[in-house]
Chain A
Amino acid sequence: MKYLHLVWRNLTRRKIRTIFTVLSILIAFLLYGVLMAIRAAFGMGIEVAGADRLMTIHKVSFIQPLPKSYMERIRGVEGIQEITHANWFGGIYQDPSNFIANFAVEPESWLKMYPEFELPEDQKKAWLADRAGAIVGIDTAKRFGWKVGDRVPLQGTIYRKADNSPWDFTIDGIYDSQVKGTDKTQFFFHYNYLNENRRARSFGSDQVGWYIVRVNNPAEADGLARRMDAMFANSPAETKTATEKAFVADFAKQVGDIGSIMTAIAAVVMFFILFVAGNAMAQSIRERTNELAILKTLGFTDGKVLGMVLAESALIAVLGGGLGLLIAWVLIAQGDPTGGLLPLFYFPPKDLIFGCVLVLLLGIGSGFLPAWQAGRLKIVDALRRS
């Protein structure tokens, strides 16, 4: 540590070069953070999809409903712990551009199935008791300024009332989640609220969009999925069952290679920026080979010289990379830049850790080679080089 001053003086001898090298590294890592957030957003939350949860949809397509009577039949299958169901409601809040994903669910079993949705106990009680109640994710509540107790009308598109008036809901609760990558923009309300209306009009009642089941043992998931589908084979509503992860993966594949194309090109450029910056750092050390020789003449050991050079390059890398990752983290924490279209915009922790590793690699990598070369030189030869 007593040589810190020397390291610092070396860094400040060419201030402009140092500043711009630090800034370039900063930008590269800022870009890295943003790209990882975009990748996570296009990945549709595959990282948090439950491996012990299966989804069952209509075999022909997800827009075809399944009969509600399947619920009891599936529950009877051995190896299944819990079951719940959901309908895509597709309601519009004021204007189609205010997109929110909204679903009709069976509240009690739904919350059991998705423990990652955290809801205060009193709000949960209120929701379970309120037929026209709804809960909404904290991100959406913030976006529209909704508070518990607010009345929210959603215009039905798929499900309409007889007079085509909007459906009224009371916000009974606002859920949050500590699990990174959980969608905190969704809106859930009572399936019975929807179904009673359908029953009264004797039109399309007792149908659900899809089932979600939790299996006792994830290792048996595939076998269970096949058994469930076999139960409904050759019926008017055949099913397709797979793990939630598989569904999310298929969904992400449908979005296609757009996300991956953007991240791939930008990753190339990021590494290019790092290469140039690393080269500049290495160059500034190579220029000083004869100074390093003088240090050795004065009695500095090879190890000390190497350590000092590494400290210098690591300092640049940590300064630029650390700031870049920090700014990325702060920016990404502001949330979805598109206003609701990429609900899962967050900095995945493992990518953050990998970013830190990259910073260290850059620091050590760019300093090690020139320092090692300088260390191998005979002092006399090194001094002769100018």
Chain B
Amino acid sequence: MLSQIIAVTGVNLRSLRERAGSSAVAIIGIAGVVVIFISVLSIAEGFKAAMVKAGDPQRIIVMRTGSDTEMTSGFSGDQARLIMDTPGIQRGPNGPLASAELFVIVSHPLAKTGTDANVPLRGVSSTVLQVRPEVTIVEGRMFESGRNEIVVGRAASRQFANLTVGSSVRWGENTWQVVGMFDAKGSITESELWTDARVLQPAYRRGNSYQSVFARLDSVDSFQSVKDAMTSDQRLQVTVLREQEYYAAQSRVLGTVIRTVGFIIAGLMGLGAIFGAVNTMYSAVASRTREIATLRALGFASFPVVVSVLVEAVLLSLVGGVIGGVLAYVVFDGYQTATMNWQSFSQVAFAFAVTPALLAQAMLYAIGMGLLGGLFPAWRASRMPVVTALRQL
């Protein structure tokens, strides 16, 4: 049986060249679907990666109870102090490694379109670089406390107009000097602008209030004890989250939208490609009617014929899958884009990410399309009555 399968499959594959045209149509069809599949899902992957990178397992975010974003959170300066002094938070030479922060949005034009977009402007404490050690100043310097100076994220500097080191911007009654640019290893933090929280408070009439506290834990394991200490304190009404949980929740809306839309599009196109593959395999079987009938007359069983057609279909779809995967990787991996984060209505920049897992998923999808497309024609090939088939042209 095995030798029969190998023999028939070999004959099939050797004759592929004569059916180059229709085979190419099937390959291109499947490659197209794979490109769409990967490109759409790489948007979701890239967004998730930027979000996940922003989260450090040893870092927590503290917000007011019931807030799901910093936008709607708020507490007094005294409460922020209490939060930062909670035992279990790492301490440096100048006190706890925690940063009480403000998060506001300013209207500023996009570099690409010149139209206004919502830029996230974050007021941070002087400890911010110890709290977020992944952030480094790559150009210029850090802002000085008490001055109207900002440092811009690498992505923000690229996405928004006129935010290069040395320029100055005016929002409302305040003028700000851009004194530096920071890198945060491609995480969404790079979409933000930072300034001194104490300068931001009066500029946005926030009194002595903050919206969140970011803090480094002594160790990854002290999360629960720190959380319990804060939530049981009568003077505070706060939600304590690991930073990773927070950013995962932040990416939920956009991730769902992209994934739903992506799967609908890729699913429909997959169906289209299956029809294409069916047509191709049918004509492949039809063009070899006599050949198959001859094999059958010589005593080959119908099962090897079925297998050979399926192998051909899967092989074609694999070729299509690889072409599509390579194309998608070359064109879309690392493609820089920006969108609105629906939870805070502010801009986030990120790069498309074509991950190995995504490529593997796409390959499986391609093989599935090939199998489905080949099944029906294969069954037909095996069922052809030998005598009528031999008589055919």
Residues in A with CB closer than 8 Å to B107 are: 59-62, 240
Asked whether any CB of chain A lies closer than 8 Å to the CB of B201, the reply is: no
**A157 and B66 contact, CB distance less than 8 A:** yes
| A164-B66, A258-B337 known; A20-B278 Cβ under 8 A | yes
18 A-B interface contacts by CB (under 8 A): A24-B276, A27-B268, A27-B269, A35-B265, A61-B104, A99-B253, A157-B67, A160-B66, A250-B117, A254-B340, A257-B337, A261-B337, A262-B40, A268-B32, A269-B33, A272-B29, A273-B29, A276-B29
19 new A-B contacts at CB < 8 Å, known A17-B282, A273-B272, A276-B276: A21-B279, A27-B272, A38-B265, A157-B68, A157-B72, A160-B66, A253-B113, A254-B110, A258-B258, A262-B40, A262-B262, A265-B40, A269-B269, A272-B32, A280-B279, A338-B260, A338-B261, A341-B257, A341-B342
Please determine whether A342 and B40 come into contact, CB atoms closer than 8 angstroms.
no
Query: Which residues of A line the B interface, CB within 8 A?
Result: 16-17, 20-21, 23-24, 27-28, 30-31, 34-35, 38, 59-64, 90, 92, 96-97, 99, 155, 157-158, 160, 164, 236, 238, 240, 249-251, 253-258, 261-262, 265-266, 268-269, 272-273, 276, 280, 337-339, 341-342
Q: Please, what's the 1-or-0 string for B60-84, where 1 marks a CB less than 8 Å from any CB in chain A?
A: 0000011110011000000000000
* Minimum CB distance partner of A242 in chain B: B116
Contact (Cβ within 8 A) B279 A17: yes
In the complex, residue of chain A having the shortest beta-carbon distance to the beta carbon of B110: A253
- Given A20-B278, A262-B40, A34:B265 Cβ within 8 A: yes
**Nearest A residue (CB) for B237:** A164
Closest Cβ of chain B: how far from A23's Cβ, in Å? Answer: 5
| B 95-122 binary contact with A (CB < 8 Å = 1; else 0) | 0000000001111001001011110000
Q: Which of B263-280 contact A (CB under 8 A)?
A: 264-265, 268-269, 271-272, 275-276, 278-279
Query: B-side interface residues toward A, CB under 8 Å?
Result: 25, 28-29, 32-33, 35-36, 39-40, 43, 65-68, 71-72, 104-107, 110, 113, 115-118, 171-173, 204, 237, 249, 252-253, 256-258, 260-262, 264-265, 268-269, 271-272, 275-276, 278-279, 282, 337-340, 342, 345, 347
Within the complex, the shortest CB–CB distance from B306 to chain A, in Å, comes to 18
Q: How far is the CA of A254 from the CA of B118 in the complex (A)?
A: 8
Q: Which residue of B72, B106, B172, B265 is within 8 Å of A262 (Cβ)?
A: B265
**Closest-CB distance, B391 to chain A (whole angstroms):** 19
Is B237 a contact of A61 with CB atoms below 8 Å? no
User: Cα distance A90–B115 when bound, in Å?
Assistant: 25
CA distance A268 to B28 in the complex (A): 12
A31 and B269 contact, CB distance less than 8 A: yes
CA–CA, A254 and B337, complex, Å: 11
Which residue of the partner chain B has the closest CB to A341? B257
A164→B172 CA distance, assembly (Å): 32
Q: Are B68 and A96 in contact (CB under 8 A)?
A: yes
Most chain A CB within 10 A, of B253, B276, B338, B345, is at B276
Contacts A157-B66, A255-B339 given; indicate if A266 touches B265 (C-beta within 8 A): yes
* Contact, CB under 8 Å: A276 / B105: no
* Distance of A341 Cα from B172 Cα, bound (Å): 32
With the chains together, A252 CA to B116 CA distance in Å? 11
Cα A256 to Cα B252 with chains together (Å):
18
The residues of A that contact B110 with a CB separation of less than 8 Å are 253-254
Q: Given A236-B173, A265-B39, does the pair A31, B117 have CB atoms closer than 8 Å? A: no
Rounded to whole angstroms, the CA-CA distance of A20 and B273 in the bound complex is 11
In the bound complex, do residue B39 and residue A338 qualify as a contact, i.e. CB atoms below 8 Å apart?
Answer: no
* CB-nearest residue of chain B to A24: B275
B340 to chain A, nearest CB (A): 5
Q: In the assembled complex, how far is the CB of residue B225 from the closest CB belonging to chain A, in whole angstroms?
A: 25
Q: Is the CB of A341 within 8 A of B271?
A: no
| Cβ–Cβ < 8 Å partners of B342 in chain A | 341
If A238-B172, A276-B29, A280-B279 touch, whether A337 touches B262 (CB-CB below 8 Å) is no
| Bound-state Cα–Cα, A363 to B6, Å | 44
Assess whether A258 is in contact with B339, with CB atoms less than 8 Å apart.
Answer: yes
Name the 7 nearest CB pairs between A and B, nearest first.
A157-B72, A27-B272, A60-B172, A256-B339, A61-B105, A96-B68, A269-B32
Residue of B nearest to A35 (CB): B265
Complex: chain A residue closest to B286, CB-CB = A16
B-side contacts of A258, CB under 8 Å: 43, 258, 337, 339
Q: A60-B171, A61-B107, A265-B35 are in contact. Are A24 and B113 (CB under 8 A)?
A: no
B67 pairs with A60, CB closer than 8 A: no
Which residue of B is nearest A22, CB measured? B275
Partner of A341, one of B43, B253, B262, B279: B253
Chain B, Cβ-Cβ closest to A279: B25
> Complex Cα distance A341/B340, Å?
13
Q: Which residue of B lies closest to A263 (CB)?
A: B265
Beyond A35-B265, A158-B72, A255-B340, is A266–B36 a contact (Cβ under 8 Å)? yes
Count chain A CB atoms within 10 A of each CB in B249, B269, B345 and give the residue with the most. B269
